[in-house]
Amino acid sequence: MQESILRKSAIFFALGSVLLVIIFAILWFHDSKKVHTLVLATGEEEGQYYAFSQALSKVINNHDNRIKIKVIKSKGSQENLKLLQQKKAQLALIQNDTIVDGSTKAVAFLFPEVFHLMVRQDSQIDNVSDLEGKRIALMPKGSGSYNLFWALQEHYQLDVDKIKTIPMPIIEAHQALEKGQVDGLFQVISLENSAVIQLLNNPQIKLIPIDQGAALKLELPALEVMVIPKGSYHGGTPKPSQDLPGVGVRAVLVANKNINREVIFEITRILYEARNELVQEFTQASMIEPWDDQHHLGFTFHPGALDYYHQGNPSFLVEYAEAIGLCLSVSMLILSGIWQLRSWLTGKQKNRADLYNLQLLKIIDQIQKTEDLDKLNEMRSQLLAMLNEVIIDLDKDLISPESFQSFTFPWQVALSATYQRENFLLRLNESQTI
């Protein structure tokens, strides 16, 4: 009767395992064919973020038709973060000085964006300190450019009441400067932007240096000290006429932390490995730098992006060889325990070795689950104490030599499992520290 129950249980277990394999195979196949549509929040349609995102969407679609990127316009970084948090967007472009919460993860640091202070020749503005008493066009409220102007104003200790700031869309701001409706325009934008080139071709408009970049970086560590090279906006009659000191930020592609890991991996892969195609669509993509995990203050990366960046690291099998070995050992011990249990149920004589083996099974299960090194040492001591007790039982003929031999193998596996688990936890702690 007992043997029949065990046989039925084994058949049920086998059928259940096959069923699970089939279910996982179906789920994997379904996921591999699924089309992922992601909304990417950018900026104004006339801006760099929108143009880059359109280019990225096109290149991604050329390389992987399972990923569709829907580009939407916005007022800038702050609104983009809100769209991510409200799950109205899954991807966004923001400046690297933007404060993010734990639900927002970086995918890639992109092109640099430089502070551009452009003024009219007749405005009598030669440096940032001359802005008081002037009319300055700013980008729309909520944009990164708008927020950074006030950081500039605070650093240069400009009187807010003496500056007439006028937030407006990009095209309107450029037109206002050309027509003399404002004295200056502040915008954070990548170098060699076509709209800025057109604006600076007007002889009545010039660039003003921002020469305290290093000091600004002390107040805003996310800033980068930069230079606007001579002739960036016109080579024949160089504009600017000499290298201008400046400061800037860097655009960042971010994602909600819950976005599919494999999808983010593929987006990151295409971003870097199809760079030439991306540059053809958006020239400033050539300034995307290789990934460096040392200079991303305030950001943590999406696991999918890290999977791509860490491709050169040891493979999963190598990295978790100890854990895999532990699982195999546990599996062997479980099979051994089932066999021992069957012998105990069908045998004529119950001996103490069976009880010890059952205790070993419980200890192994605890070893597999524990995350505490101190508890692991306690379990190792428990195993040694058990071995001492079994030896005493053998000396007293309470168990047979055959039973002792049947005990020693799983006991050795259990002891080995403690060392394997210990190595795994130590490696895990080191990787988390890094």
Query: Which domains does the chain carry?
Result: 109-309 (3.40.190.10), 317-433 (no CATH)
The pTM score is: 0.64
Read off the amino acid at residue 347: G
As a whole number of angstroms, the distance between CA 264 and CA 267 comes to 5
Query: What is the rounded radius of gyration, in angstroms, for the C-alpha atoms of the chain?
Result: 33
Question: What DSSP character marks residue 121?
Answer: G
Given a contact cutoff of 8 angstroms between Cβ atoms, the answer to whether 398 and 389 are in contact is no
Give residue 344's pLDDT: 47
Distance of CA 118 to the CA centre of its chain: 36
Q: Structure tokens of 48?
A: 């760099």
Q: Which of 242, 237, 175, 173 is nearest to 211 (CA)?
A: 242
**Beta-carbon neighbour count of residue 209 at 10 Å?**
19
Given a contact cutoff of 8 angstroms between Cβ atoms, the answer to whether 117 and 208 are in contact is yes
The pLDDT averaged over each successive group of 10 residues in the chain (434 residues) is 52 62 59 80 91 95 92 92 93 92 93 94 94 95 90 94 94 95 94 88 93 91 91 84 92 94 95 93 87 75 93 55 62 60 46 75 83 84 85 78 78 83 80 68
Give residue 17's pLDDT: 60
Q: Which of 266, 265, 254 is nearest to 303 (CA)?
A: 265
Give residue 388's pLDDT: 86
As a whole number of angstroms, the distance between CA 323 and CA 236 comes to 65
104 DSSP β-pair partners: 256
Q: At what angle do helices 401-433 and 373-395 cross, to 10 degrees?
A: 170
As a whole number of angstroms, the distance between CA 218 and CA 214 comes to 7
> Which strand (E) or helix (H) includes residue 362?
helix 352-369
Give residue 370's pLDDT: 84
As a whole number of angstroms, the distance between CA 28 and CA 224 comes to 44
> Which strand (E) or helix (H) includes residue 167?
strand 164-167
As a whole number of angstroms, the distance between CA 365 and CA 405 comes to 22
Give residue 289's pLDDT: 81
Cα 47-52-54 angle, rounded to 5 deg: 100
Residue 220 — left, alpha, or beta (φ > 0 → left; ψ -120 to 50 → alpha)?
A: beta
Provide the strand spans (E) within 222-310.
Answer: 224-228, 244-256
